[in-house]
Amino acid sequence: MAVTAPVDGTPARYSRGQLLAYGLPGLPLAGLGVPLFIFLPAFYAQNRGLSLEAVGFALLLARLWDAVSDPLIGMLSDRIETRFGRRKPWLFAGTPITCLAVYMLFVPPEGAGTLHLFGWSALLYLGWTMVQLPYTAWGAELSSGYHERSRIAGFREGMLVFGTLLAAGMPAIVSAAGGGEDTGTVLTVLAFFLIVALPVAITLAAAIMPERPKLAALQHLKADWRAGAALLLRNKPFLRLILAYLLNGLANGLAATLFVLFVDKGLGLPQETDGLLLIYFLAGILSVPVWLTISHRAGKHRTWIAAMLVNSAIFALVPLLGPGDYLAFLAICIGTGACLGADLVLPPSMQADVVDVDTAEGGGSRTGLYFALWGMATKLALALAVGIAFPVLAAFGFDANGSNDADALLTLSLLYGAAPVILKLTAIAIMRNFPLTETRQAALQRKIAENIQ
């Protein structure tokens, strides 16, 4: 299939080297998540003597602040234009804040208490948002090409997965290097890695990749906040996509939240957890080129629907598994991991497409705001996954630290396997006949190009 140049003059196709440079910051950014959500709470409770209630309250308040800062940073990065662009200055401004907060949070001084945990967590979330949000918005703006957007998302999301795997495997790496298994040592190593890797990655990305030209010409088209809000609410493709994205994210969040418990209690194979997770993520990375190839022929939303259908069929087998069914669950991890590749690259690419609807109708260039809303949807899905799964398990008498009866184990299997199927099938119904095809998106780009002239 021939690749035609987009109507606004952006490259029809970036080189792999350029896309690798753009994707590179995704590695340290992903490396923040694992220590922040997994290692840090236990460290402050066990090594700094804080109560679980104090740790939970401090991190909850920081997350609430994070939810408030998302749309604020998104809107500001849309509105503030500099000689260096709109997105890159935010990356450079957020990096030192992030690095300082990482050090103070991961390598706390003696006597660090609840206020220290809350204050530096809140600052870390602010710096992280200042980098992450403009970074993803920048990627969406790098090309107006329907399929090129998927390639761009693929490189970024692939680096995010690599970063997650690296951070998750850091305890084993530190232990193999003779550093022991102390969580404090692991956090110190991660802190110095992130402090070095993040500025280097952002500098390389900013030096090699441009910002999309001519966007400043759209600023005269932007509506006031009332008209802009009305445009957003009339953007039917956006509303459909974000709802499907939330439901699919909740499905994936339930599986992620319950993965360790299912392998441990449902299958009785706790020693296999790390290996199965590695295989799952590797399958996701390796499948990305396959889904991109399919989407070139079938379109992005049809390909995503197909991936969710396959994923649902595989997840439906989970309640049939029992103790010791390693090979069967290994096959399920490979299959669902392969489907993860479509979740990684296609929704972010379609997110860029629905922003075109807003831009073409006079909303200006509000990619940052739209991606802030998707970021909030992602966080909401993860919060709902935890908020639904654990209370339901508790209601059926599930014990994470002890033995469980048949009803409790069945509840775990249904939450891990059946609930995601229902959620994904609902998302599929919403995405059926999604209107933003390649032809429709090209028409939107022509309209935007006419507005720029």
Q: Say what the pLDDT of residue 213 is.
A: 56
Phi–psi pair at 98, nearest 5 degrees: -65, -45
Among 206, 41, 28, smallest CA distance to 128 is for 28
Contacts of 366 (CB under 8 A, 6+ apart): 75, 78, 222, 228, 355, 358, 359
* Number of residues in the chain: 453
Q: What's residue 304's pLDDT? A: 98
Cβ–Cβ under 8 Å, residues 382 and 249:
yes
Residues in the chain predicted with pLDDT less than 50, given as ranges, are 1-3, 5, 216-217, 220
pLDDT number for residue 134: 94
Report residue 384 as tokens: 């709902």
Q: Directed axis angle between helix 326-360 and helix 438-452, to 10°? A: 30
| Rounded distance between C-alpha atoms, residue 445 and residue 360, angstroms | 8
Closest Cα to residue 184, out of 35, 20, 43? 43
Q: Are 191 and 106 in contact (CB under 8 A)?
A: yes
- Predicted TM-score (pTM) of the model is 0.84
DSSP β-bridge partners for residue 82 = 85
Asked if 402 and 271 touch (Cβ cutoff 8 Å), the reply is no
d(CA 25, CA 163): 9
Rounded Cα gap, residues 125 and 17, in angstroms: 30
Residues 37-87: tens digit of each pLDDT: 777 877 887 778 787 678 878 887 887 888 788 888 988 888 888 888 889
Helix/strand/coil (H, E, C) string of 255-309? Answer: HHHHHHHHHHHHCCCHHHHHHHHHHHHHHHHHHHHHHHHHHHHHCHHHHHHHHHH
Write the pLDDT tens digit of every residue in 341-371. Answer: 999 999 999 999 999 998 888 767 788 888 8
CB environment 315-329: b (16+ within 10 A), e (fewer): beebbebeeebbeeb
CA atoms within 13 A on the CB side of 22: 28
Tell me how far apart the alpha carbons of residues 237 and 371 are, in angstroms, rounded to a whole number: 14
CA–CA separation, 280 vs 149, rounded Å? 25
pLDDT, residue 57, reads 82
End-to-end CA distance of the chain: 30
Degrees (nearest 5) of the Cα angle 290, 293, 298? Answer: 120
Q: What is the DSSP string of 184-253?
A: HHHHHHHHHHHHHHHHHHHHHHHHHSPPPTTGGGGGGG---HHHHHHHHHH-HHHHHHHHHHHHHHHHHH
pLDDT computed for residue 385 by the predictor: 85
- What angle, rounded to 10 degrees, do the helices at 26-34 and 183-208 form? 160
What pLDDT is recorded for position 225?
A: 52
- Please, which residues bridge with residue 85 across strands? 82
* Closest among 449, 371, 450 to 78, alpha carbons compared: 371
